């Protein structure tokens, strides 16, 4: 089962980026091409039956598998980035992060009204970033079709917040 393979590959880094935090490092997964392919295969399998028009990946680790997933599904990929990183006209949304705050942006033409969007990131923690991404999609009149994460820190209860928008929440590895 892929969750066991991923759990074995994910590296815990204590006290990063600040004391008391255990960072879940996915970079060892990226060194294994077969495991990366298995990640995309598993996302595709779990997304079967869900209509998706666009994958939106959250900066920066959401770009890694998000672009591969969009490519496999043969649909567009759009990046959600921190303020000042996108070159065209944007919409923006503030977000509370686990260790601070930021402003996320999305190109104003990234989503056509009514498009069904899968929001992807590597990790779901408190849900602040993905909630801001959700609001960005909604500002452009997109419909959040679901969420896909490599890792979910379930003990932080962010799934409850996301279920108010979509019941389609995929996490390949969950930590209780």
Residue partners of 140: CB distance under 8 A and separation at least 6: 91, 106, 108, 110, 111, 113
| Token pair 């979509």: residue | 166
Please indicate whether residue 42 is annotated as part of the active site: no
Residue partners of 76: CB distance under 8 A and separation at least 6: 53, 54, 55, 70
Q: Find, among 167, 133, 163, 169, the residue nearest to 151 by Cα.
A: 169
> Which residue out of 72, 92, 96, 98 is catalytically annotated?
98
> Which residue out of 61, 81, 116, 135 is catalytically annotated?
61
Please indicate whether residue 61 is annotated as part of the active site: yes
| CA 172 and chain centroid, separation | 12
Residue partners of 71: CB distance under 8 A and separation at least 6: 77
Sign, CA dihedral 168-73-85-143, equals negative
Residues labelled catalytic: 61, 98
């Amino acid at each position: 089962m892929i969750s066991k393979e991923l759990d074995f590959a994910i590296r815990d880094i204590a006290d990063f980026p600040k004391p008391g935090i255990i960072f879940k490092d996915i970079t060892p997964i990226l060194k294994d091409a077969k495991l990366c392919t298995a990640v995309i295969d598993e996302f595709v399998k779990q997304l079967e039956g869900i209509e998706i028009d666009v994958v939106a990946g959250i900066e920066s680790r959401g770009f890694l598998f998000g672009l591969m997933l969009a490519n496999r599904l043969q649909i567009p990929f759009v990046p959600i980035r921190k303020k000042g990183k996108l070159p065209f006209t944007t919409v923006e949304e503030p977000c509370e992060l686990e260790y601070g705050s930021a402003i996320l942006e999305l190109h104003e033409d990234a989503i056509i009204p009514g498009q069904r969007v899968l929001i992807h990131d590597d990790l779901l923690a408190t849900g602040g970033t993905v909630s801001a991404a959700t609001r960005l999609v909604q500002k452009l009149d997109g419909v959040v079709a679901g969420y896909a994460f490599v890792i979910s820190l379930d003990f932080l209860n962010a799934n409850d917040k996301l279920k108010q928008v979509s019941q389609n929440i995929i996490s390949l590895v969950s930590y209780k």
